[in-house]
Structure 1
């Protein structure tokens, strides 16, 4: 069973970011720059480095990757279906649908080592490599369809997709990269997690949810109730080991991606609504991850 105290350092970083942004000279303009740095450079480099340095081949974790794929596809399908519900505003849905199926990769990687050691980091890197492009396709498709943007242009220029695809191509090709290049990208990527978690905290704000409280509740329920509940029997059905199953459940219960706000604003969505969803999802994640992993302990 997961001790919630293991998650404390990561959530302390999130709350530290909140305090720094609200009560010190490091106010919003500073964190706007930090968010762009993490989104465009540090995090894509972390994804690339994690995949390239991983001792695992994608086939070694095929059942776990299949589980992650099922979780994400289910989230996309359910979030998309909400658009047909009576009274749902199309712009708000296009902006917020991503919250139901995207996940916070900063927190995922930070938790992986605590849950399953070095092997856990490699497993999560592969999950990210598979699921980040899929989830970004879902998010960009929803916003592009509503806002008139070019889907393919947005996908090709998305730094998270570029980083993961580049890492997979290098990994699958078997090309050996110079040690100095690997070490440099590794060090750049290491900065992504602490800065990313601080930026998550700096971005916490509840304004905007009053625009569509029912839609917000439905999206958050998919993210924090439906998907982790699905992961419990799914891991048994896929024959996952306990460490793999634990990571799948934690993955399904993660808070949503903080970069969703940046994407929504850049593509003409409703920024305050997405910011409120991300804030509530992050706060719920502090409880949902340990609770669902504890539920797995009773399940198995």
Structure 2
């Protein structure tokens, strides 16, 4: 019970505060969009820059960590894709968009603050490793599958190039790349710049959580609950179970295991809806999934924290 009260609920209370603020029209949706723009385009990239620039890269990028997490992620996509197609008879394009919900976990806005509250800021190294590869991995799989499903349009190669150009302009990716550049070059960041970076990084997660709550107001449950339940179970149960099992088989360290399993247990991120909206398919399921799974994750994260505390001490 202490994990629920001390670790999980404070994070979700901040999200709830943002939700209620927009729901009761104390702030408009445009205000929350501006806040999310600040966090996604400025504060969180600074947070990622700081983290990557200070990582011990040789020690942090462990293949066992990546295999444990991303095998579960790919399995979640496969189950969601095939379940949507063969259990619920959805078109292949809808199925890809729905399967993306089992692929793209909310590592950034939920995974980071919950891991930090549970195990401390010093435990976040593996989280940042996973985050640095998350968007390229997920969008490459999603776009490739969608282009095969469509079998029309401009073609896979051109679409992937367009996505890569878009990611290259993405502030989150720019923050990660800048962090790698500083880390690998051995450059020393002036103290006054470091202090400014720390101030901005400190504002990133609280502001993003509050903004996330405000954004969730527009994602209303609108049906398709059976398929939403399937993808939510895939995201909240199957993915972390595979990660936990592989983590034990591959002998992840305690810190790696905690970060990988907690990250895997997070609800689908808002990018699930962004991807569906990009192709104009499966939008209702994606929007409902983001809202419902985020609420359910309060309990599922609590369970996984208990399992990790029991197995890792």
TM over 0.5: yes
SS in 1 for 2:296: helix
- 1:57 aligns with 57
TM-score (norm 1): 0.85
User: Judging changes above 3 Å, is the alpha-carbon distance between structure 1 residues 3 and 35 closer, same or farther for their aligned structure 2 residues?
Assistant: same
Partners in 1 of 2:193 and 2:179 — Cα distance? Answer: 13
User: Judging changes above 3 Å, is the alpha-carbon distance between structure 1 residues 183 and 69 closer, same or farther for their aligned structure 2 residues?
Assistant: farther
Partners in 1 of 2:153 and 2:39 — Cα distance? Answer: 27
Aligned: 1:261 with 2:262:
no
- 1:278 aligns with 290
Aligned: 1:237 with 2:249:
yes
- 2:103 aligns with 101
User: Judging changes above 3 Å, is the alpha-carbon distance between structure 1 residues 174 and 246 closer, same or farther for their aligned structure 2 residues?
Assistant: same
TM-score (norm 2): 0.82
Determine which of 209, 215, 220 is the counterpart of 1:207. Answer: 220
Question: Is the Cα–Cα contact under 8 Å of residues 68 and 131 in structure 1 kept in the other structure?
Answer: no
Q: Which whole-Å deviations, capped at 9, do the CAs of 1:112-138 have from their partners, x for residues lacking one?
A: 222322321222112211333312333
Determine which of 175, 183, 189 is the counterpart of 1:171. Answer: 183
SS in 1 for 2:189: coil
- 2:161 aligns with 152
- 1:4 aligns with 4
Q: Cα offset for 1:110?
A: 0.6
Q: Which whole-Å deviations, capped at 9, do the CAs of 1:239-281 have from their partners, x for residues lacking one?
A: 1233332222211111121243344434544544322110011
Partners in 1 of 2:197 and 2:153 — Cα distance? Answer: 36
Question: Is the Cα–Cα contact under 8 Å of residues 53 and 180 in structure 2 kept in the other structure?
Answer: yes
- 1:92 aligns with 94
Question: Is the Cα–Cα contact under 8 Å of residues 204 and 276 in structure 1 kept in the other structure?
Answer: no
Question: Is the Cα–Cα contact under 8 Å of residues 216 and 291 in structure 2 kept in the other structure?
Answer: yes
SS in 1 for 2:97: helix
Instruction: Note the aligned Cα RMSD (angstroms).
Output: 2.8
Structure 2: tracts of 5 or more residues without a match? none
Partners in 2 of 1:2 and 1:71 — Cα distance? Answer: 28
- 2:76 aligns with 75
Partners in 1 of 2:19 and 2:194 — Cα distance? Answer: 33
Partners in 1 of 2:77 and 2:185 — Cα distance? Answer: 31
Moved more, 178-187 or 31-40: 178-187
Determine which of 200, 203, 211 is the counterpart of 1:188. Answer: 200
- Any runs of at least 4 consecutive aligned residues in structure 1 with deviations exceeding 6 A, and if so which? none
Partners in 1 of 2:294 and 2:266 — Cα distance? Answer: 8
User: Judging changes above 3 Å, is the alpha-carbon distance between structure 1 residues 247 and 185 closer, same or farther for their aligned structure 2 residues?
Assistant: same
User: Judging changes above 3 Å, is the alpha-carbon distance between structure 1 residues 28 and 60 closer, same or farther for their aligned structure 2 residues?
Assistant: closer
Q: Cα offset for 1:142?
A: 4.8
Q: Cα offset for 1:139?
A: 3.9
Question: Is the Cα–Cα contact under 8 Å of residues 2 and 293 in structure 1 kept in the other structure?
Answer: no
Partners in 1 of 2:195 and 2:18 — Cα distance? Answer: 28
SS in 2 for 1:243: helix
Partners in 2 of 1:295 and 1:157 — Cα distance? Answer: 39
User: Judging changes above 3 Å, is the alpha-carbon distance between structure 1 residues 148 and 293 closer, same or farther for their aligned structure 2 residues?
Assistant: farther
